[in-house]
Structure 1
Amino acid sequence: MTRQTTMLNAYTPGAGHLSPEDEALAQRRAKALGPAYRLFYETPVHLVRGEGVHLYAPDGTRYLDCYNNVASVGHCHPRVVEALSRQAATLATHTRYLHDGILAYAEQLLALFPPELSHVMFTCTGSEANDLALRIARAATGGTGVIVTDNAYHGVTLATAEMSMSIGPAVAPGPTVFPIPAPSAQNYPSGIAEGFAAAVSAACDRMQAQGIRPALLIVDTIFSSDGVFPDPPGFLVPAAAAIRKAGGLFLADEVQPGFGRTGSQFWGFQRHGVIPDMVSMGKPMGNGYPMAGLAVRPDTIAEFGQKARYFNTFGGNAVAAAVGLAVLDVIRDEGLQQNALTVGTAFAEGLRGLAGRHDAIGETRAAGLFIGQTILTDGRPDPARTARLVNALRDNHILISSTGPRGDSLKIRPPLPFSLSDVDRVLTTLDRLLPSL
């Protein structure tokens, strides 16, 4: 199967699309960073500054960012930058000393979860958070088997890369990793909730037939790398019950959908009315500062806590705590979760409206400001056309990406302050570009 990673990696140094200055930069990059790094777009973008929902090139060209959930509350948000600078100038140390900042942040963060999830552990990246969750699951269950969706992305450590089908065949899947089809109507035509739960149960049966005990079902609750599959709300309940019946745990990976992005709820799992055993967080948590974490039930962490100690040199440091608090404050004070709902709904409705004029617009799958938009040719998903559209939008100063196993859907995931006028610009540009692609 052709993975989505091939779609945006067309540029190689010397291809001739760049200015002499940027070509020299690309050559330096290839020499210094090596072959595993990739650049977005056929003509890569050279960026020097960010502000709000925009990114800027050296010549001042302004790009509308439709992709970045890392700078979730907006690029270089002044309140976040000020909190970071103030704390970095005061104290930057780890969690082995008593410090009020990390406790204030932990308490405010946990207040956003169901009360059953009452402990939080801090890391630097979502990869680390998911890796830690796997260690905890193994201790709690005595098992090693992991269920993931078949184009998932959960991280870049050895363990999480083996659970991440979307990054390519070099290390995935691991021998105890059991992929199942993503929760789409195409994969489960008789019913997503029942079909997905049955797939979880069948994976557990395959494990046990090989002498492997189930430990964990891990899902990104928006299924972003699989193509963005948020609906119907509630479909994860039977799947969580299925893994628990087999003796495993349910981990909700909120690295991409969390922190208000889905609009109706603060966390993606809340749309499904299910309470996970663990919840991993990352990317938007620090608005660009590297921080992540894992919320856990006390009974889930008990066995691991008795037999192991956890320490992370930088995870949960005083600067991270200050940044995290500022991000939560901005989401609340600027009404960004409600904005995600309002603007995301308008965005999805606008895309569906375009489908009436353009046969290229297929299914729109959306929850708040997280949208998967299938691009068609002759009624069939078309990854090549999607790639042309992504690159054409880049040439029109709109940054976007693709998703799905074949890269046949636009992945629309802008910073949360995205406005209705920003939506109008994207829709107007799409309306103009689609007939020529």
Structure 2
Amino acid sequence: MNLRTRRSAMLVASGPRAASNVMVGHCHPDVVKAGVEQMQQLNTNSRFLHDNLVVCAEKLVSKMPESLSVCFFVNSGSEANDLALRLARQHTGNTDVITLDHAYHGHLTSLIDISPYKLNLPGAPKKPDYVHIAPVPDVYRGKIKADEHPDEDMGKLYAMEVKKIIDENVIGQRGEQVCAFIAESLQSCGGQIILPHNYLRDVYTYVREAGGVCIADEVQVGFGRSGTHYWAFQIDGPDVLPDIVTIGKPMGNGHPVAAVITTEAVARSFEATGIQYFNTYGGNPVSCAIAIAVMSAVDEERMVDNAKDVGGYLLSELENMQQKFPDVIGDVRGVGLFVGIELIIDPKTKTPATAEARDVVDR
């Protein structure tokens, strides 16, 4: 569905993907009311036209950059990322995918294949040859550390790691072009990683030069969680522009609704197959009514500003704690309500304080 013409139409460094299902608070009255009222009227599968689908899609697209104008509704972030891969493969004709170490993109088989967070576990399936894992751009304890390169552009250095994979592994060894680069705009499973300046900008350039498309996974970090922008990929400037954006979790405040937003060009490639996309309950009237109410609450209650204010306060207080306990708190980082703390045993070696972190989480 092209909406542009229509509207001229926390401590998580070693923990699981953060629970961010609820966007506007449990049992938000407007969200509950929207769901109940629509359920009392009608709920049906998405083969049937309903205004809620169009209104919801228009509202989503209105918050995206101009080129991202086509909306597909699904039920979950996992479904969104799976569809994003289908779109990318059809559009490029390629299969090779570049993902980040520690990444998690969903529970479907196609997504376990590109999720090192799962692939690295004992008993996990073997990584497919067409999947390539780039170092997570963790400037604190990653492959390239900021304290070891104080005068370097960390974003550019980490982006070159992706360029090496493209040149040496995808093109060099396999003789292929890239299908897609997929990454959360702020990496959650990898430990609340704030991508360094210039990283996505340069990576997106390298990937497109190699025939691929760029997928921004905003399933956890979208809808204003950063406190500065509605979508986290926007943090590094307006020229950081993905080809496909996946969203979910907070979109329905815990209700199962998600979406994929992409460009006309990608959507046309997909439609040309004749294999129409259909999702029985993706974008059903009740789900869309709830998502509309969530986005309205975010706007009307200025929740992006709230994320900035509350997150800024939290980050400031954690930084004060770090000053008091430098031998235990190695790093504090975050934007808005996306904050991480590194607990360590030794500041020099940065050895993770695993037992202590577990105790803090449990308490």
Same fold (TM over 0.5): yes
Could you tell me which residue of structure 1 aligns to residue 268 of structure 2? 302
**Residue from 319, 328, 331 that aligns with 2:286:** 319
**Residue from 165, 186, 189 that aligns with 1:222:** 186
Residues 165 and 172, structure 1, Cα contact 8 Å, conserved in 2: no
- Aligned to 2:342, the other structure's residue is in SS state strand
Residues 119 and 298, structure 1, Cα contact 8 Å, conserved in 2: yes
Give the Cα–Cα distance (whole angstroms) in 2 for the partners of residues 344 and 388 of structure 1. Answer: 23
**Residue from 309, 313, 316 that aligns with 1:342:** 309
Give the Cα–Cα distance (whole angstroms) in 2 for the partners of residues 145 and 271 of structure 1. Answer: 27
Could you tell me which residue of structure 1 aligns to residue 5 of structure 2? none
Letter in 2 for 1:350: E
Give the Cα–Cα distance (whole angstroms) in 2 for the partners of residues 280 and 263 of structure 1. Answer: 19
Find out whether 1:174 has 2:128 as its counterpart. Answer: yes
Find out whether 1:204 has 2:166 as its counterpart. Answer: yes
**Residue from 327, 339, 343 that aligns with 1:371:** 339
Stretch deviating more after TM superposition (254-263 or 352-361): 352-361
Letter in 1 for 2:37: R
- Map Cα deviations across residues 375-433 of structure 1 (whole Å, 9 max, x no partner): 112322222221111112xxxxxxxxxxxxxxxxxxxxxxxxxxxxxxxxxxxxxxxxx
Give the Cα–Cα distance (whole angstroms) in 2 for the partners of residues 184 and 391 of structure 1. Answer: 25
- Map Cα deviations across residues 32-53 of structure 1 (whole Å, 9 max, x no partner): xxxxxxxx9xxxxxxxxxxxxx
Deviation, 1:175, is 2.5
> Structure 2 vs 1, CA of residues 89 and 81 (structure 1 numbering), >3 Å: closer, same or farther?
same
Could you tell me which residue of structure 2 aligns to residue 252 of structure 1? 216
**Residue from 109, 118, 137 that aligns with 2:60:** 109
Could you tell me which residue of structure 1 aligns to residue 38 of structure 2? 87
How many matched pairs? 332
Identical aligned residues as a percent: 36
- Map Cα deviations across residues 221-267 of structure 1 (whole Å, 9 max, x no partner): 11111112224344310011010011000000000110010000000
Give the Cα–Cα distance (whole angstroms) in 2 for the partners of residues 77 and 248 of structure 1. Answer: 41
Letter in 1 for 2:358: A
TM-score normalised according to structure 2 size: 0.88
Q: 1 or 2 for the larger relative contact order (CA 8 Å, sep ≥6)?
A: 2
Letter in 1 for 2:314: F
**Residue from 337, 355, 360 that aligns with 2:328:** 360
Structure exhibiting the larger radius of gyration computed from Cα positions: 1
Give the Cα–Cα distance (whole angstroms) in 2 for the partners of residues 251 and 183 of structure 1. Answer: 17
Give the Cα–Cα distance (whole angstroms) in 2 for the partners of residues 7 and 200 of structure 1. Answer: 26
Find out whether 1:284 has 2:247 as its counterpart. Answer: no
Letter in 2 for 1:191: D
Deviation, 1:174, is 2.6
Deviation, 1:172, is 5.5
Q: Any stretches of 5+ residues in structure 1 without a counterpart?
A: 9-39, 41-66, 393-437
Find out whether 1:77 has 2:31 as its counterpart. Answer: no
- Dislocated runs of 4+, deviation >4 Å: 4-8
- Map Cα deviations across residues 84-123 of structure 1 (whole Å, 9 max, x no partner): 1111111111222221111011001100000110011011
Deviation, 1:305, is 1.0
- Root mean square deviation of aligned Cα: 1.8
Q: Any stretches of 5+ residues in structure 2 without a counterpart?
A: 1-11, 146-151
Letter in 1 for 2:341: Q
